[in-house]
Amino acid sequence: MKEVLLLKYGEIVLKGLNRGYFNSILESRVKRALKNVQGEFKYDYAQSTLCVYGSDDADMDEAFEKAKKVFGVATVCRGIECEKDMEDIRKKLLENIDDLLGSAKTFKCDAKRSDKKFPLKSPQICAECGGIILEARPDMKVDVINPERVISIEIRDRAAFIHGNGEKGAGGVPVGSSGRAMLMLSGGIDSPVAGYMIARRGAAIDAVYFETPPYTGEAAAMKVQTLAEKLTEYCGEMYLHSISLTEIQETLVQNCKEKLFTLLLRRFMVRCASRVAEKYGAGCLVTGESLAQVASQTMQSLAVTDSVATVPVLRPCIGLDKEEIVVRAREIGTFETSILPYEDCCTVFTPKHPDTRPDMAEILEEEAKIDVDGLVERALATDHFVKLG
């Protein structure tokens, strides 16, 4: 059997004259995803589908799982290539009928005839293939409304393909087609989900993590690195930057009003992250903030923190509630790591009664008490990074 993975495109088919650009990025992303999979792979694009052929020793199981995580792929099917001839289609269908049907009891056939020169039309192909299945498997029944298995027969320009139920891919558009973003990655549940969501919209991502030694330890840093590594399964390689905020937090505690600690700290984080983004070519910051989830995420608080950003701040989770974010975190495999009990810098000096409606004049008055520019420069001097993925 000559098995092939059929990677069906989703949103890319709507890209018009830019479609070739997205196709080339997607193919490069698939190649990157499969680079460490056993075997050699060849690629052929035709009619909104990327066909991936493996060598005889290729691990098609692993390739299938990795292909499902590539943004831009809507559906992944394991198929069989045939000659564009009903005799060969009949033969391959019979040879692989048990694999195609599994334990299902109902099925329907679906045919797509992209090559209009093929002698049979789509309904005729479905009728003939359905008859073959019923003859070989009399236990099966046809159900065109809610079948357990759909057996698809595609007649394309170069060859024909047979495949069973496909599995849902990651969707979205290919990473790298929408520029680069700098994710402000904490050890919590929200920010990894935000990184996933912005990568799904085509942004390549790097990340910056703010630590506070000795108040936060090595375990907290390793937790964040683990989260970043999980994100690379979807977005490919990234650079994870780590910046110390210890001096900044201690300065705020010594000089500023407690109710404003969190907002003042967030402004420093945005200043530092903006500088890192500009230095390394990221066009925006990404945060996991959700409107009104905590005191620092009210409209007024977000306006206060955004005012010091020098690049746009994107918040993919802004309209999601906590339960929705948790569901997505479980889906992408970050939840169990995110709930490990290690402190991050935002929780170390949390005020008892944070201000939810901050006044900008009061914020500026507090910042006038400290050397903002010097603190930012010294924090940035602690930046160290690791390449992941």
Mean pLDDT, range 302-324, rounded to an integer:
97
Sequence-distant (6+) residues with CB within 8 A of 310 are 274, 275, 278
Contact 205, 180 (CB under 8 A): yes
Beta bridge partners, 161, equal 81, 154
Residues 319-331: tens digit of each pLDDT: 999 999 999 999 9
Structural domains of the chain, with CATH: 3-168 (3.30.2130.30), 180-388 (3.40.50.620)
| CA 207-215-212 angle, 5° bins | 30
Q: For position 365, what pLDDT does the model report?
A: 96
DSSP assignments along 252-300, one per residue: HHHHS-GGGHHHHHHHHHHHHHHHHHHHTT--EEE----TTSSGGGSHH
Residues 341-365: tens digit of each pLDDT: 876 655 556 777 777 888 999 999 9
Q: For position 309, what pLDDT does the model report?
A: 98
Sequence-distant (6+) residues with CB within 8 A of 236 are 29, 32, 33, 175, 176, 204, 389
Q: For position 217, what pLDDT does the model report?
A: 82
Cα–chain-centroid distance for residue 41?
23
Q: Is the pLDDT of residue 276 over 80?
A: yes
Q: Measure the CA dihedral 300/303/304/305, to 10°.
A: 130
pTM exceeding the 0.75 threshold for the entire prediction: yes
Query: For residue 338, what pLDDT band results from cuts at 50, 70 and 90?
Result: very high
Question: Cα(78)–Cα(99) distance, rounded to whole angstroms?
Answer: 10
Of the listed ranges 91-95, 98-102, 380-384, the one predicted with least confidence? 98-102
Q: For position 1, what pLDDT does the model report?
A: 54
Query: For residue 294, what pLDDT band results from cuts at 50, 70 and 90?
Result: confident
